[in-house]
Amino acid sequence: MMKIFLFTVFLISGLIFFALGTIGILKFPEIYSRAHSSAKCDTLGTILTLSSFCIYSGFNLVTLKIIIIIIFIMITSPTATHIITRGNYEKEEGSNDADF
């Protein structure tokens, strides 16, 4: 009973963060605000959603694989957002300086 409740709370929280991130992408005026919205909300939404699946399946091999995916997303999502926004900044400024 408690497992289903926690699963539902984490899943709905993750979906709410996905929705808020999507609204932020559509509403914010510039790429930096949009990137911030997508990076924060999508990362947290993914972590909460995958954590809900860990809670639902219990502790087994599937849970271990999901935890590895969560760690991978925590590393790659902010890095990808940084690379995208830095590329846009360099394009706007006309800078070719690689080690800024």
The answer to the question of residue 51 being in a domain is yes
pLDDT number for residue 18: 93
What is the distance between the alpha carbons of residues 6 and 3, in angstroms, rounded to a whole number?
5
pLDDT tens profile 68-91: 999 999 999 989 999 999 998 888
Tell me the residue range of the domain where 13 lies: 2-90
Long-range contacts of 33-37 (CB under 8 A, 24+ apart): 35/81, 35/84, 35/85, 36/81
28's enclosing H/E stretch is none
Domain tally, the chain? 1
Is 63 part of a structural domain of the chain? yes
Asked whether residue 85 is domain-assigned, the answer is yes
What's this model's pTM, rounded to 2 decimal places?
Answer: 0.83
Residue 21 lies in a domain: yes
Q: How confident is the model at residue 94 (pLDDT cuts 50, 70, 90)?
A: confident
**Would residue 54 count as lying in a domain?**
yes
pLDDT in tens, 38-72: 888 999 999 999 999 999 998 899 999 999 999 99
Q: Is residue 22 part of a domain?
A: yes
Does 23 map to a domain?
yes
**Residue 96 falls inside a structural domain:** no
- CA 16 – CA 23 distance, rounded (Å): 11
